[in-house]
Structure 1
Amino acid sequence: MFHILLFRLLLIIAVAIIVFSITKYILDPRRKLEAAKNRGDFYLLDDTENIRRNITFTYKSALFEGEKFLDPNQPGPDVTNIMVWSEDIDEFQRMSLRDFQYMERELKLRYPDALVEWRTPVDDWIKRLKRTRES
């Protein structure tokens, strides 16, 4: 009798661990970021509680990272500048100027007072797109 109760208890614990692991995997924001990257959707991974943590986002299968900066002269912890870069050169070179404007708008929704600056090589690509558009 004792062995049966012990076996049932261990079985319940094992099922609980499996359910917990599956739930943790499904709700993991990094998995959602990777899934959005594979689909080509926009997804922003950001810890709004921790200003010092970088932003990671994806759009059209390109992965971007942004560093948030605060203005030390302002009293509140408002983000005033976001520097964005990407290592996915092949992916972001498939984007249009509208795509970059869309990403800026999405960042501005979350940080309305922030100036979005693009680092090289993304900045070079945006300048090239603007020159092409003007010609």
Structure 2
Amino acid sequence: MIVILFRILIIAAIILLLYSIIQYFRNPERLLQHAKISNGFYFIDEQWNSKKNIRLVYKGCQFEGEKYVGTTENSFEIVDIHVTVTDPIELQGLTRDDIYFLEKELLIRYPYAKVTWKHPIDKLIVTK
């Protein structure tokens, strides 16, 4: 009887270990940091939750966007997004085309939104 109980406990421990490993590799924070280190692009957002900020990484620079709900002709949508950079030093090497790429990615997810870039990014943007 005790041998069967130990086998069940070992199987449960293995299942718990596998679950923890899978959750570690699927963690969005870890993926965001990995994209920052590898100079990639990663986007974290809960589109159904308007209170959660948007976090994205592009070319080693981390941005954060605040979403604001407003009205469109037919419904309530995200109509305004204010994007700031978490560390302005990371902006070194980013071009205007990179900012336009990020704006395009935001507009794909939120077509009714107006993207507003905060200081110092707004100095680089030519079109208003």
- Structure 1 gaps of 5+ residues are 131-135
- Deviation of 1:93 (Å): 2.5
- Aligned partner letter, 1:61: G
Q: Does 1:104 align with 2:103?
A: yes
Q: Percent identity?
A: 35
For 2:27, the equivalent position in structure 1 comes to 28
- Deviation of 1:50 (Å): 0.5
Equivalent residue pairs, number: 126
When the two chains are superposed, the root-mean-square deviation of aligned CA atoms in Å is 1.5
- Aligned partner letter, 1:6: L
What is the rounded CA distance, in whole Å, between the counterparts of 2:64 and 2:76 in structure 1? Answer: 20
Q: Pick the structure with more helix per residue.
A: 1
For 1:90, the equivalent position in structure 2 comes to 89
What is the rounded CA distance, in whole Å, between the counterparts of 1:26 and 1:8 in structure 2? Answer: 27
Larger Rg: 1
What is the rounded CA distance, in whole Å, between the counterparts of 1:72 and 1:103 in structure 2? Answer: 24
TM-score relative to the length of structure 2:
0.90
| Cα-to-partner distance string for 1:36-93 (whole Å, 9 max, x where unaligned) | 1111111110001101211000000000000011115755231111000012212113
3-state SS of the aligned residue for 1:17?
A: helix
Q: Pick the structure with more strand per residue.
A: 2
- Aligned partner letter, 2:29: R
Runs of 4 or more above 6 Å deviation: none
For 2:116, the equivalent position in structure 1 comes to 117
